[in-house]
């Protein structure tokens, strides 16, 4: 993709990162890698959804579980809305379901962070390029 | 339709009942599968279906093998300490 100036180029990279954060796999769709985008979207949505199903939305807690919350926020900014819902409702989650739910949702968030880095690097280095070497 | 939708949404407001048993460990496999899929999606230069599936399965197998080994070693350690 060609850009008029450097500011446009940086804006493009930011747009790719934001798209990947708002909708998992969105960054890859923007850089015309729809197959990757679709796989990332389905996998991260299912992982995050399974975590919420196991532990309920009570596992999203920006006050008591702020470290988990940071990782969960990497999946999508919609977590912020879920946190508000969870805090204003009486959704409690303890024990094993809470542990599993937090692990699933946090890992989904961190995997999305990896996907965002991948999309931004592909946008930066050109189509077909990726971080590190192929395995 | 709306009853079904409310039913689905309601299932996200109550935690599932998960017992403390060795079967609890099986919950790691979907997570390992997700890690393998995303990692390979970001790493493969060309996303050919056959290659992608093979590479993902290999990585999933390696991750699962390592986790099972870790479980065995940790259980062995606990058994040695507490016997």
**In residues, how long is chain A?**
135
Look at B30 and A47 and tell me if their CB atoms are within 8 Å: yes
- The closest alpha carbon to A73, from A22, A36, A121, A19, belongs to A22
Please tell me whether residue B55 adopts helix, strand or coil conformation: helix
For A66, the domain range is 6-125
pTM for this prediction? 0.88
> ipTM score of the complex?
0.86
Q: Over 60: is that where the pLDDT of B27 sits?
A: yes
What's the domain count of chain A?
Answer: 1
B-chain CB neighbours of A55 within 8 Å are 15-16
In a domain, A131, yes or no: no
In a domain, A133, yes or no: no
- Tokens describing residue A48: 């995050």
In a domain, A41, yes or no: yes
Query: For residue range A35-48, what is the model confidence (pLDDT) as tens digits?
Result: 999 999 999 999 99
The shortest C-alpha distance from A16 to chain B (Å) reads 15
The minimal CB distance from A100 to the residues B13, B18, B38 is found for B18
pLDDT at A131 (0 to 100): 62
A-chain CB neighbours of B31 within 8 Å are 47, 103-104, 107
User: A72 CB contacts (<8 Å, ≥6 apart)?
Assistant: A60, A79, A102, A105, A106, A108, A109
User: A132 CB contacts (<8 Å, ≥6 apart)?
Assistant: B43
Q: What is the mean pLDDT of residues A1-28?
A: 89
Kindly indicate the confidence band of residue A2, based on its pLDDT and cuts at 50, 70 and 90: low
- Of the listed ranges A8-22, A70-84, B10-24, the one predicted with least confidence: B10-24
């Amino acid at each position: 993709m060609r850009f008029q100036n450097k500011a446009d180029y940086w804006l493009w990279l930011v747009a790719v990162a934001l798209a990947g954060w708002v909708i998992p796999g969105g960054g890859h769709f923007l850089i015309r890698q729809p197959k990757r985008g679709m796989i990332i979207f389905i996998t991260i949505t299912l992982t995050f959804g399974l975590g919420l199903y196991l532990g309920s939305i009570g596992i999203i807690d920006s006050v008591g579980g702020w470290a988990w919350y940071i990782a969960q926020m990497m999946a999508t900014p919609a977590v912020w809305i879920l946190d508000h819902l969870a805090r204003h409702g009486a959704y409690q989650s303890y024990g094993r379901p809470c542990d599993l739910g937090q692990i699933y949702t946090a890992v989904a968030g961190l995997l999305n962070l990896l996907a965002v880095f991948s999309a931004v690097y592909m946008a930066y280095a050109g189509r077909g390029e990726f971080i590190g070497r192929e395995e | 339709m709306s009853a079904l939708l409310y039913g689905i949404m309601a299932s996200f407001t109550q935690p599932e009942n998960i017992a403390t048993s060795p079967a609890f460990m099986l919950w790691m496999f979907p997570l390992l599968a997700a890690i393998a899929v995303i990692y390979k999606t970001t790493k493969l230069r060309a996303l050919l279906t056959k290659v992608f599936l093979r590479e993902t399965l290999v990585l999933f197998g390696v991750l699962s093998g390592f986790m099972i080994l870790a479980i065995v070693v940790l259980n062995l350690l606990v058994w040695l300490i507490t016997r």
